[in-house]
Amino acid sequence: MNEGDEFLTVARVQDVPENGQKTISVDGKSVLLCKSEGQYFAVQNRCTHDMEPLTGGVVRKCTIVCPIHGARFSLRNGVPFGPPAFEALAVYEVRVEGGAIQIGRDPKPAG
């Protein structure tokens, strides 16, 4: 296994319903696990606008809306759709193995 290929089990599939979310911790960093359109996503749980948590933001159509000032981000690649956020969220690889949701330990480069 190469460095950066390591996956961690962070939840069970039943923990994250459609358009739901679960806040997890990976190596001391807060990460938001989401499900939308049947797919699981994991993004840094810190909005790039004002560094507030995204927990509680509305998840739908593979996007999340920051609950603080309303920036909307793609859950697929972390890119914001417009102001007030301009920088992408870091995103993590996600896979499902036997009912376990696993994420890559290292986030992919933003965008």
Establish if 59 lies at the interface with ligand FES (CB under 6 A). no
Compute how many other C-beta atoms are within 10 angstroms of the C-beta atom of residue 44: 22
Establish if 81 lies at the interface with ligand FES (CB under 6 A). no
Q: Which is nearer to ligand FES, 71 or 91 (CB)?
A: 71
> Tokens 């696990």 identify what position?
33
Q: Which of 16, 34, 42, 71 binds ligand FES (CB under 6 A)?
A: 71
Q: Which is nearer to ligand FES, 42 or 101 (CB)?
A: 42
The Cα–Cα gap between 54 and 11 comes to 18
Which region, left, alpha or beta, applies to residue 52 given φ > 0 means left and ψ of -120 to 50 means alpha?
beta
Q: C-beta of 68: minimal distance to ligand FES in Å? A: 4
Q: For the chain, what is the radius of gyration of the CA atoms?
A: 13
Establish if 84 lies at the interface with ligand FES (CB under 6 A). yes
Tokens matching residue 103: 């994420």
Establish if 50 lies at the interface with ligand FES (CB under 6 A). yes
The contact set with ligand FES (CB under 6 A) reads 47, 49-50, 52, 66, 68-71, 84-85
